A = this chain, B = another copy of it.
């Protein structure tokens, strides 16, 4: 009896109606709980002795109430396994297990999503074990609004080493994803009197919306073969949101002459650069493109993330900030949600300092490079189809032969084949008269599913090529 109690007992909330007799009150409390779905089918009830002690009733009263409800069909009892809630249809409440978990697309070629099936689960678990074995008050007690110092130190070191970023742990702020970081930063800039943050056109519509929600205007800079046309940066612009290593979505790196022009604009106007280095880890050619931040660490907000290297669901990102922005951004973070959860920060810090993170990035880089080659091989088989932005990153931009149907028709056709990808048009601020194209994320599917996804995509595209001949 005692064993059943401590081994499988669950917490029960039972309100006894004082106007009824004790047995009757317990019966109707249990009955209501089961009818309303609060006591789910299969729930193991406390032992009669346990519940009697808990509620200050006699064992006999509880046994009688259980027996009554077994007779009424609310409870079931089997020798040796205690009394459980029977499977009756609840009155008003759908059972948790009835809630369907939505399925993803059949072939996932959406840009910006890494192959999470390659997540370094073994290394993550080993690091979690190490972290949890450390001081629990450090791991599970109150966290730091700026982010755990262990992760800030690891990230500062990592960014210096791999991306040429000049920073220190006290200039790093950890946020629950880049999205939150950009949102907090935009709020701080608006509070400091900024009015305009220039954005690339095309660029990620979701992030433009984040900046706009802070009340900031987003004057556009067209993108050409040298990246963003930065001559749009005037005195009236307070900051510019750039993807200099690998422009999103075109994949062009910002040309050295443009980098210099941005530097000159910063010096003459005091303007700020927000550098979204969303996939800087993934370059496939021999000419690495360092972060822009190194040029002007005191006026650049460098933003990086684990979403592309490990997975978006971790919600871990970092900003390397100019000194004057650290305090206001940390305050904004604190006002939003106090601080980002500590455990995964400490685990990531462990992975970085033990170099397991580097090894993972390197392994997935090789893995994505092979996928890129496969994609390019297929693209070259269709006249007029051209891949852009492929020296780096997790996606390619395909521009289409001029005689093909419009982008939205192609996307519908793909969707009917179970293919999830993205069109270029929705990333233009005003898509009228702008080039169309397809964004193919070659990182999203698990390794075993990639070829089938390519087959499905190119079967559809080859059909278009044949139809338009």
A-to-B contact residues, CB < 8 Å: 6, 8-15, 33, 36-40, 43, 54-56, 92-94, 96-97, 99, 101, 104, 113, 116-117, 119, 121, 124-125, 128-129, 132-133, 136-143, 149, 152-154, 156-158, 160-170, 175-177, 179-180, 183, 213, 281, 286, 288, 290-291, 310-316, 335-344, 355, 358-359, 361-362, 446
Closest 10 CB pairs of A and B: A38-B160, A96-B153, A140-B311, A313-B342, A116-B140, A180-B337, A315-B341, A11-B162, A13-B164, A121-B132
CA distance in complex: A336, B101 (Å): 24
**A113 adjacent to B125 (CB under 8 Å):** no
Distance, CA A101 to CA B313, complexed state (A): 28
User: Are B10 and A358 in contact (CB-based, < 8 A)?
Assistant: yes
Q: How far is the CA of A11 from the CA of B291 in the complex (A)?
A: 14
| Docked-complex contact B93 and A288, CB < 8 angstroms | no
Report how far A33 CA is from B140 CA in the complex, Å.
36
Distance between A294 CB and nearest chain B CB, rounded to angstroms: 8
Which residues of B are found within 8 Å of A154, using beta-carbon distances? 96
Whether B341 contacts A161 by the Cβ 8 Å rule is no
Can you offer 10 A-B residue contacts whose CB atoms are under 8 A? A11-B161, A11-B162, A11-B281, A13-B162, A15-B288, A55-B286, A94-B169, A96-B156, A140-B312, A142-B312
Determine the residue in chain B with the shortest Cβ distance to A345: B313
Cross-chain contact A161 with B13 (CB below 8 angstroms): yes
Q: What CA separation (Å) do A13 and B290 show in the bound complex?
A: 7
Tell me how far the C-beta of A7 lies from the nearest C-beta in chain B, rounded to whole angstroms. 8
CB nearest neighbor in B for A446: B137
Q: Are A15 and B160 in contact (CB under 8 A)?
A: no
Closest to A361 in B: B11
Bound-state CA distance A149–B165 (Å) is 39
Assess whether B142 is in contact with A113, with CB atoms less than 8 Å apart. Answer: yes
Taking CB atoms, residues of chain B closer than 8 Å to A139 are 116, 119, 311, 313
Please give, as numbers and ranges, the residues of chain B lying within 8 Å of A92 by CB-CB distance. 166
The answer to whether B157 touches A136, judged by C-beta atoms less than 8 angstroms apart, is no
A10-B355, A337-B177 known; A56 vs B128 contact (CB < 8 Å): no
- B8, B124, B335: the one contacting A132 at CB < 8 Å is B124
In Å, the complex CA distance between A9 and B361 comes to 11
> Given the known A-B contacts A141-B311, A160-B38, are A169 and B290 also in contact in the complex, defined by CB atoms under 8 Å?
no
B-side contacts of A39, CB under 8 Å: 160-161
> Which of B14, B336, B355 touches A183 (beta carbons < 8 Å)?
B336
A93/B168 in contact, CB under 8 A: yes
A99-B13 contact given A38-B164, A116-B137, A341-B314, CB 8 Å threshold = no
Say how far A449's CB is from chain B's closest CB, in angstroms.
10
Q: What separation, in Å, do the CA atoms of A128 and B129 have in the docked complex?
A: 10
Question: In the complex, what residues of B have CB within 8 A of residue A316's CB?
Answer: 341
A15-B161 contact in complex given A8-B355, A117-B137, C-beta closer than 8 Å: no
Most buried by B among A96, A359, A362: A96
A94 to B6: give the CA distance in the assembly, Å: 52
CB of A151 to closest CB in B, whole Å:
10
Known A-B contacts A113-B141, A344-B344; A153 and B99 likewise in contact (beta carbons under 8 Å): yes
Q: What is the bound-complex CA distance between A143 and B140, given in angstroms?
A: 23
